[in-house]
Structure 1
Amino acid sequence: MTALIALATALGLALTLLTAAAPPAAAADLLSQGRPATSSSTENAATPASAAVDGNTGTRWSSTFSDPQWLTVDLGSIATISRVGLRWEAAYARAFQIQTSDNGTAWTTIYSTTKGTGGAQTLDVDGKGRYVRVQGTQRGTAYGYSLWEFQVYGSGGGTSPGNGIPDPTTASLEATDGPLTTATYTVPGPSGFGSGTVTYPTTGGSYPGVVLMPGYQGTQENLRWLAPRLASWGFVVINVGTNTLTDDPAARGRQITAAGTQLIALGNAPGNPLSGKLNGTLGAVGHSMGGGGVMAALRDDPRFRAGVPTAPYYPNVNFSSVTDPTFFLTCQSDPVAHGDTYAVPWYNSMSQAEKLYIEVPGDHLCPMTGYGDKATQGKWIVSFLSLWLRGDTRFSPFLCGAVRDADKNNTSLVTRWMDTCQF
């Protein structure tokens, strides 16, 4: 009996030691939130693909009312996928698959069911890929497919240089053009805005879209300098002419939304140079009343995920509800839209947004073509949109930390700088 007790004690101690020595299982990371998302269709402008990966359970993606339909998220690089979360709206999938792909073309199914019940689902899966999609093949209702959230968990993922975009440097970001070759395309039959010229990367791959909106009495010339800079760093840029030169900020906001809608439609349509170029994520840059329009688009259109209002003008409007990353670029000697009048109060009121505020020397025209320091303005705008529209953290040091301090502390270059770093 004594020997048996001793043996049991020894075995128990050994098991305790083995258990203590075993490392805990690695926690799965949420890889999909805020990443670029695309879909086979959307029911309307208020239910874009991006709404299913924004972390907001009050926004959703919904498709048209037909089978099949899909929603895809780009994780940025190949990742190991261990779990998928689906939070369905009432319009759910009875039959669907979870699929992964390294290139967005060849797909591997890692989960399949024909007995979906909707609601909140957590699926344990085992797969690898840069792209993950939910492919609905049979609707559970007469409506389409609708997801409040599509969450992909695992390890890896993140930013991949991809599409020929090398690591940025101060010199490369301050150059007139970035690393990608570009071309232009005139929008046929603009709908909801006056005119549009698109500058886009000629390399393969899909990219975020950016709308450029001029100010009062302005034309596409206002922000012409910015279009090729952004496009050559991996954006599809539509430079917009307004319906009339006197359109107010509210009208310019609606035209930004209309231009974004048509840009995505061109990306989804065959037979034009933009086919397949848009990943469904949108941003906007605007000057003066166009900057006010950017704020309206961020407030009113969930497809727009980041904005750069420059010398923005929009009297008697509260934008405290804007939660998307916003970069205010203002001019120190601006007699029309000084930062203290518009941008600073908006900045201070936006308690839920990541924010950057930079004031530079010059008057109201300082962000326009032919005025101001375009090397640094371009560097900041490209970095901000690369970080928040592509999730490319390689650009963060130019906005936060030691690298940006050379700009921030140069009083001949920057007269006021505020931010919510670290981002």
Structure 2
Amino acid sequence: MRLRNVIYAIPAMALVLTGLSAPAQAAANPYERGPAPTTASVEAARGPFATATTTVSRSSVSGFGGGTIYYPTSTAEGTFGAVAISPGFTASQSSVSWFGPRLASQGFVVITIDTLSTLDQPDSRGAQLLAALDYLTRTSSVRTRVDATRLSVMGHSMGGGGSLAASRTRPALQAAIPLTPWHGTKSWSTVRVPTMIIGAESDSVAPVSSHSEPFYTSLTSAPDKAYLELNSASHSAPTSANTTVAKYSISWLKRFVDNDTRYDQFLCPAPGRSTLIEEYRDTCPHS
């Protein structure tokens, strides 16, 4: 036996003689994308990934009204998790388009959708979010960039209610973020998807007392959940660039779509009340 093999064998033999086993090395998270985050990086208007867009025409798809895909241009780090985002009642994808480049530049493939009708109700929007994810992973031009096991949904107003409906329908989703959500159903006890609900203190369209708060409280089967209430904000707060909404949306998606515990620092312990945040509740520590 060569000397170096003898040297390597000695500690191994010692472990056998003492009845101990060699410590297992923690496996690196294969879904981490991008550098270690900082407060500045999650609040920045753009993340570390260069992005591109592609338009999805209404006539080329079924189940939803077309949309826009935003995606990282480099696949050097592997495939990416994805998120589909729905607008609210009477709105088009332009009302949620700011999320596209912001989330894509953090390492996600994003599709913002137009709905079949601007008057579609929440459950229909939920079905359309799922149709958009199916299109994204099965036939879209960027399908090879997407990890079909790491999908999520977001939506504003009735689109937010739609994201709850989509989560109820498809428990395999990794995350959901309803934004000032509206839905006639108040109990979501069967949802098993990690869900962050973002409400607005001064919302007169979907008041938090009758929408976001009871939605959050009812999520008794969700393995993890959070409730962020924007201080002095209106129903439309998530429809334009909002650093607070972006910061916590990015952190939630990174934590649960990418299983990236580096982002726990922004979620646990819960952020305190401030000029930006009226209230924050959660289930920290995350499972």
**Aligned with residue 398 of structure 1, among 266, 269, 283:** 266
Question: Are residues 391 and 162 of structure 1, via their aligned partners in 2, closer, same or farther at CA, if it must alter by over 3 Å?
Answer: closer
Match of 1:230 in 2: 103
Tell me the residue number matched to 1:383: 251
Q: Which among 123, 136, 145 is matched to residue 277 of structure 1?
A: 145
Of residues 74, 81, 85 in structure 2, which corresponds to 1:203?
74
Over residues 262-307 of structure 1, what are the superposed CA-to-partner deviations in whole Å (9 max), with x where a residue is unaligned? 001135xxxx3x1410111210110000000000000001342210
- Structure number with greater Rg is 1
Q: CA offset at residue 346 of structure 1?
A: 2.0
User: 14, 20, 25: which is aligned to 1:23?
Assistant: 20
Q: Distance in 2 between matches of 1:212 and 1:19?
A: 55
**Secondary structure of the corresponding residue to residue 313 of structure 1:** coil
> Pairwise mapping of residues 260-409 of structure 1 onto structure 2 (< 5 A)?
260-266=133-139, 272=141, 274-280=142-148, 281-353=150-222, 354-360=224-230, 361-369=232-240, 374-401=242-269, 405=271, 408-409=272-273
Amino acid at match of 1:246: L
The percent of aligned pairs where both chains have the same amino acid is: 37
Following superposition, the deviation at residue 20 of structure 1 comes to 8.6
**Normalized per residue, which structure has more helix?**
2
Contact 2:136–2:143 at 8 Å: present in 1 too? Answer: no
Structure 1 segments (4+ residues) deviating >6 Å: none
CA contact (8 A) 2:43 2:247 kept: yes
Of residues 249, 253, 257, the one that matches 2:122 is 249
* TM-score between both structures, scaled by the size of structure 1: 0.60
* Counterpart mapping for 1:40-189 below 5 A: 155-159=25-29, 163=33, 165-188=34-57, 189=60
CA deviation string 1:370-401 (max 9, x = no partner) = 5xxx1221111001001100101111101112
Question: Quick check: 2:84–2:129 contact (8 Å CA) kept in 1?
Answer: yes
Q: Deviations 1:114-154 (Å, cap 9, x if unpaired)?
A: xxxxxxxxxxxxxxxxxxxxxxxxxxxxxxxxxxxxxxxx7
Structure 2: gaps of 5 or more residues? 1-14
Between the aligned partners of 1:415 and 1:356, the Cα distance in structure 2 is 14
Q: Which moved more, 1:249-258 or 1:295-304?
A: 295-304
Structure 1: runs of 5 or more not aligned: 1-17, 27-153
- How many residues get paired? 266
Query: CA RMSD for the aligned pairs?
Result: 2.1
Deviation, 1:362, is 1.1
CA change 1:366–1:396 in 2 (3 A) is same
User: 2:181–2:206: 8 Å Cα contact kept in structure 1?
Assistant: yes
Q: Secondary structure at the match of 2:36?
A: coil
